[in-house]
């Protein structure tokens, strides 16, 4: 065979994504100050996407501080599945779009545990986000009891089975999955790279079985749960881990910038 005839099967490029989940932290003025500080510490790179998810009340000031066409994107931490109506205290996807959000976290374990969100509700939120052009960052993860019973993978795929039900291939292409073991969130006890990789691989296999190998190869799967500047290097070195959803460590500009820089230089 002539060299010219060699068949190259392109591996899809999954750009690493680092998401900062601010949770219920930072007022509008604190958000603006944080972003000014963060922007001074970072250099844009096509090798990493970055998303900040302030509380709803700080989205506008965060958007202004980032400026128009910023390389750092905005996301929200939750949404309601309806467009508008009598849903006191709720916020819709179109409202988030107008505040320049491009992403939205859906089904975070704190929402599941503290606010009673069920898999069926989460599925409706995923759909509502997609309809309005928001990329859902769908969080799934097993409890400590499930892990100890050897059911980490089956717990995660059971969540995905409902949360992603009925999505077409093009819809799934805009979804980001965040594997967040519940026992690792806010505990300082991150999953080992091996533990995370094993679940990431089973998530990719689940997508391949339910849709196809192209979708499975393209979907970004993040790890979340006590990610720090110290463990990010090892986690992000794995080809199976396409980025991180960062809670506690994203509230400090130095820590968050360090994690972003690790992603920007990984396998450089
Ligand atoms: C999270 O809440 O999504 C999270 C990953 O938190 P932490 O990094 O603090 O464990």
Range of the domain at 41: 14-266
The CA radius of gyration of the chain, in Å to the nearest whole number, is 18
**Percent of the chain's residues with pLDDT above 90:** 94
Residue 1 located in a structural domain = no
Low-confidence winner among 2-6, 135-139, 203-207 (lowest mean pLDDT)? 2-6
pLDDT tens figures, 208-252: 999 999 999 999 999 999 999 999 999 999 999 999 999 999 999
- Predicted confidence (pLDDT) at residue 3 exceeds the cutoff of 90: no
Classify burial at 86, counting beta carbons within 10 Å of its beta carbon; exposed 0-12, middle 13-18, buried 19 or more: exposed
Give the pLDDT band of residue 165 (cuts 50, 70, 90).
very high
* Strand segments (E) across 82-188: 101-106, 135-140, 176-179
Q: Average pLDDT, stretch 176-188?
A: 97
Residue 58, φ and ψ in degrees, nearest 5: -105, 5
Sign, CA torsion 238/244/248/252: positive
Q: Average pLDDT, stretch 79-100?
A: 98
Asked if 165 contacts 138 with a C-beta cutoff of 8 angstroms, the reply is: no
Residue 8 located in a structural domain = no
Q: Average pLDDT, stretch 109-115?
A: 98
What is the CATH number for 253? 3.20.20.70
Q: What local confidence, expressed as pLDDT, does residue 6 receive?
A: 54
Residue 186 located in a structural domain = yes
Beta bridge partners of 139: 178
Number of independent structural domains in the chain: 1
Residue 46 located in a structural domain = yes
Closest atom, ligand 1, to C-alpha of 246 = 8
For residue 197, the number of C-alpha atoms closer than 13 Å in the C-beta half-sphere is 10
Q: What is the mean pLDDT of the chain?
A: 95
Q: What local confidence, expressed as pLDDT, does residue 266 receive?
A: 85
Ligand 1 probe mutation, 106, 139, 247, most atoms within 8 A of CB: 247
Q: Average pLDDT, stretch 60-88?
A: 97
Q: Average pLDDT, stretch 164-181?
A: 97
| Ligand 1: centre distance to CA 92 (Å) | 24
Number of residues in the chain: 268
Residue with tokens 């400090």: 252
Residue 108 annotated to the active site:
yes
Cα of 32 vs its chain's centroid, Å: 22
Residue whose Cα lies nearest atom 1 of ligand 1: it is 247
Residue 2 located in a structural domain = no
Residue 146 located in a structural domain = yes
Residue 5 located in a structural domain = no
Which residue among 110, 117, 146, 180 is the active-site one? Answer: 180
Q: What local confidence, expressed as pLDDT, does residue 1 receive?
A: 44
Q: Average pLDDT, stretch 166-188?
A: 97
Residue 48 located in a structural domain = yes
Asked if 82 contacts 59 with a C-beta cutoff of 8 angstroms, the reply is: no
Read off the pTM.
0.95
Residue 30 annotated to the active site:
no
User: CB within 6 Å of ligand 1 — which residues?
Assistant: 21, 180, 185-186, 224-227, 245-249
Residue 176, φ and ψ in degrees, nearest 5: -115, 135
Closest atom, ligand 1, to C-alpha of 184 = 10
């Amino acid at each position: 065979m002539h060299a010219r005839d060699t068949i190259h099967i392109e591996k899809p490029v999954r750009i690493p994504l680092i998401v900062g989940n601010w949770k219920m932290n930072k007022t509008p003025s604190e958000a603006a100050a944080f972003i000014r500080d963060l922007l001074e510490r970072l250099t844009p790179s096509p090798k990493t996407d970055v998303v900040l998810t302030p509380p709803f009340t700080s989205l506008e000031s965060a958007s202004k501080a980032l400026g128009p066409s910023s390389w750092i994107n905005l996301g929200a931490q939750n949404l309601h599945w309806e467009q508008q109506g009598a849903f006191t205290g709720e916020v819709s996807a179109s409202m988030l779009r107008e505040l320049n959000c491009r992403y939205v976290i859906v089904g975070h374990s704190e929402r599941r545990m503290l606010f009673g969100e069920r898999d069926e509700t989460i599925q409706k939120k995923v759909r509502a986000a997609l309809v309005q052009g928001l990329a859902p960052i769908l969080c799934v993860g097993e409890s400590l009891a499930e892990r100890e019973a050897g059911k980490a993978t089956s717990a995660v795929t059971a969540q995905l089975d409902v949360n992603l039900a009925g999505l077409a291939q093009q819809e799934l292409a805009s979804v980001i999955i965040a594997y967040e073991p519940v026992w690792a969130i806010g505990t300082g006890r991150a999953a080992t790279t091996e533990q995370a990789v094993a679940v990431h691989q089973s998530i990719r296999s689940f997508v391949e079985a339910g849709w196809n190998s192209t979708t499975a190869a393209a979907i970004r799967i993040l790890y979340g749960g006590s990610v720090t500047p110290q463990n990010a290097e090892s986690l992000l070195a794995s080809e199976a881990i396409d980025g991180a959803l960062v809670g506690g460590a994203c509230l400090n500009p130095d820590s968050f910038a360090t994690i972003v820089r690790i992603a920007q230089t990984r396998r450089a």
